[in-house]
Structure 1
Amino acid sequence: MLRALGRKALSLTLSLIVASVVIFVMLQAVPGDPAAFMLGLNAQPDTIAALRAELGLEGGLIQRYLAWTGGMLTGDLGTSYTYRAPVSDLVLDRIGVSAPLAAYALILTVLIAFPVGLIAATRRGGPADWGIMGATQLGIAVPNFWFAMLLVLVFAVQLRWVSAGGFPGWSDPVAAIGALTLPAIALALPQASILARVLRSAVLDTLDQDYIRTARAKGLSRRATVVRHALRNALIPVLTILGLQFSFLLAGAIIIENVFFLPGLGRLIFQGITQRDLIVVQSVTMLLVASVIVVTFLVEVAYTVADPRLRR
């Protein structure tokens, strides 16, 4: 088991290196000069050259890549061209919104998908199954940003139960959670629809196994059989989808945070793109990619907990 974990850790490290190279090269290939963009059309060449040197844009690609990755290993993500502040400080200011939002959405995804998927599986072919499958198909088809705007229209504009956007800060936890509720629902429902369908299929495949029939023949109730035997053995594909959904939640947050005017990492990336603040886009994107790769690694480790056969 330790050898398998070592191979997975090596794969994680290689994935991080490849991701950093791809992100750096793609952003460096973007046409235009950030220094010239910041100074405007009438800037003098010597002024542009001085700003390029100040921003660390001089030198070859390899030199700049090594300086960037070396800085990230020591916690130095660079300095924002626009804010003239360390990117690490900007990330720390924004992570307090994005991380709770992603966790909130993931919790809602699980709380919705598991009971819905189990109900559909245990009532296969019935009205409940057909209704749930139709609803989940609609949840997959509707874009989360459109659903987010619909939530704002209904609950913020018409009913006025919550604000249409903004974040009051964590000094008032109740208000902060209320501000994150609609964005979390907008992120969670499409992912819950996918997860519910995967869970239903996995449980149905498990219910046809011989050990399920044996458990029922021994007198175990249908509910206990599903929860204690079928669900646990169906968790492998569900864990896989959960790991992938974490990346979708992070990517979807870029749009959702702009819809609700949340000061999170997604909005920071969007502002960095519009202002050509490449070091912000580069560093924050790398952090998001690294978090996805690490979560994928943890999901693979969780396989061995859910299925003892994989520990060999």
Structure 2
Amino acid sequence: MLGYLTKRLISLTLSLAVASLVIFAVVEIAPGDPAAYMLGINAQPDTLAALRSELGLDQPKAQRYLSWVTGMLTGDFGTSYTYRAPVAQMIAERLWISLPLALYALALAALIAFPAGILAAARRGRPADLAVMAGTQLGVAIPNFWFAMLLVLLFAIKLRVMPSGGFPGWDEPLDALKSLTLPAVALALPQAAILARILRSSLIDALGEDYIRTARAKGLTRWQALRRHGLRNALIPVLTILGLQFSFLLAGAIIIEQVFYLPGLGRLIFQAISQRDLIVVESVVMLLVFAVIVVNFLTDLAYAAVDPRLRR
């Protein structure tokens, strides 16, 4: 187990190093000058040069990369070109919205998908299975932003039981959770549909294994064999999907945050790209990549917990 953990840690470190190089290179080659964007098209050359010097844009790219990386290692993400505020502070403020939203949506997706997937596998070929598969097909097909607008029309405008957008802050936890409910449901629906289909397929494969037939021969019902023996062995592909879904929910909620006017990380990176605020774009994208890699690392550890063969 120690060797497996060491290999995964080395892979994590190398992945972060390569990701930082790629992110910096891609953002730097993007067209446009942040200083020229801030000052406008009529800016004087000496004023433009002074602002570039103040922002550190006149330094060699290698020096800027090293300063950015070493700063991140110490918790200093730099200063926003546009807002003239510490990037770390901006990220921390937005993370307290995007992270709970992602966790909330993932929990809803799991609560929907696990019972649906298990029911479909246990009732394969029966009306319950057909109903679940039809529902998951619909969930995959419906765009989440369109579903989000339907939720707003129904629950916020017609029934007036949920807020249509905005975020009141965590001073009132119930109001904050209420404001995240519709966005979380909109994000959870397609993820729950995907997860339920993967779980059903994995469970059906597990039910065809010899150890399931042996369990049935010993007197266990189909449901008991599925719950005691099939479910754990079917979890490895499900854990992979869960890890990928959390990463997607954390990084890919830009449209949903726009629909519900949530000041999260997705909205921050959208604004930073439109304003050519390079340091914010680099730092937020690197943070999201770090989250994806760490979640994959934790997923690998969960594999080892589920499958004892990996510990050797």
TM-score range, shorter chain: over 0.9
Query: In the TM superposition, what is the alpha-carbon distance from 1:217 to its structure 2 partner?
Result: 2.0
Query: In the TM superposition, what is the alpha-carbon distance from 1:142 to its structure 2 partner?
Result: 1.5
The answer to whether structure 1 residue 13 and structure 2 residue 19 are counterparts is: no
Q: Give the match for residue 104 of structure 1.
A: 104
Please give the per-residue CA displacement for 1:129-162, whole angstroms capped at 9, x wherever unaligned: 1111111111111121111111111111121111
Letter paired with 1:227: R
Query: In the TM superposition, what is the alpha-carbon distance from 1:164 to its structure 2 partner?
Result: 0.7
CA distance in 1, matches of 2:143, 2:248: 12
How many equivalent pairs are there?
Answer: 312
Query: In the TM superposition, what is the alpha-carbon distance from 1:219 to its structure 2 partner?
Result: 2.1
Q: Give the match for residue 254 of structure 2.
A: 254
Query: In the TM superposition, what is the alpha-carbon distance from 1:109 to its structure 2 partner?
Result: 1.0
CA contact (8 A) 1:167 1:263 kept: yes
Q: Give the match for residue 151 of structure 1.
A: 151
Letter paired with 1:294: V
| SS in structure 2 of the partner of residue 18 of structure 1 | helix
The answer to whether structure 1 residue 216 and structure 2 residue 178 are counterparts is: no
| SS in structure 2 of the partner of residue 6 of structure 1 | helix
Q: Give the match for residue 205 of structure 1.
A: 205
Q: TM-score, normalised by structure 1?
A: 0.98
CA RMSD of aligned residues (A): 1.0
Moved over 4 A (4+): none
Q: Give the match for residue 73 of structure 1.
A: 73
Q: Give the match for residue 123 of structure 1.
A: 123
Q: Give the match for residue 190 of structure 1.
A: 190
**1:132-147 aligned within 5 A:** 132-147=132-147
Q: Give the match for residue 240 of structure 1.
A: 240
Query: In the TM superposition, what is the alpha-carbon distance from 1:224 to its structure 2 partner?
Result: 2.3
Query: In the TM superposition, what is the alpha-carbon distance from 1:36 to its structure 2 partner?
Result: 0.7
Q: TM-score, normalised by structure 2?
A: 0.98
CA contact (8 A) 2:121 2:200 kept: yes
Letter paired with 1:52: R
CA contact (8 A) 1:15 1:293 kept: yes
CA contact (8 A) 1:167 1:179 kept: yes
**1:25-44 aligned within 5 A:** 25-44=25-44
Letter paired with 1:122: A
Query: In the TM superposition, what is the alpha-carbon distance from 1:15 to its structure 2 partner?
Result: 0.7
Please give the per-residue CA displacement for 1:174-209, whole angstroms capped at 9, x wherever unaligned: 111110000001111101100000000000000111
CA distance in 2, matches of 1:179, 1:227: 36
Please give the per-residue CA displacement for 1:264-302, whole angstroms capped at 9, x wherever unaligned: 111111111111111111101100110000000110111
Identical positions, percent: 68
Letter paired with 2:94: R
Q: Give the match for residue 283 of structure 1.
A: 283
Q: Give the match for residue 226 of structure 1.
A: 226
CA distance in 2, matches of 1:283, 1:310: 34
CA contact (8 A) 1:79 1:279 kept: yes
Q: Give the match for residue 292 of structure 2.
A: 292
The answer to whether structure 1 residue 160 and structure 2 residue 143 are counterparts is: no
CA distance in 2, matches of 1:247, 1:85: 27
Letter paired with 1:169: G
Structure 2 alignment gaps of length 5 or more: none
CA contact (8 A) 1:304 1:311 kept: yes
CA contact (8 A) 1:187 1:252 kept: no
Query: In the TM superposition, what is the alpha-carbon distance from 1:252 to its structure 2 partner?
Result: 2.5
Letter paired with 2:135: A
Q: Give the match for residue 3 of structure 1.
A: 3
CA distance in 2, matches of 1:280, 1:150: 33
Letter paired with 1:143: P
CA distance in 2, matches of 1:135, 1:145: 18
CA distance in 2, matches of 1:29, 1:142: 36
CA distance in 1, matches of 2:180, 2:228: 34
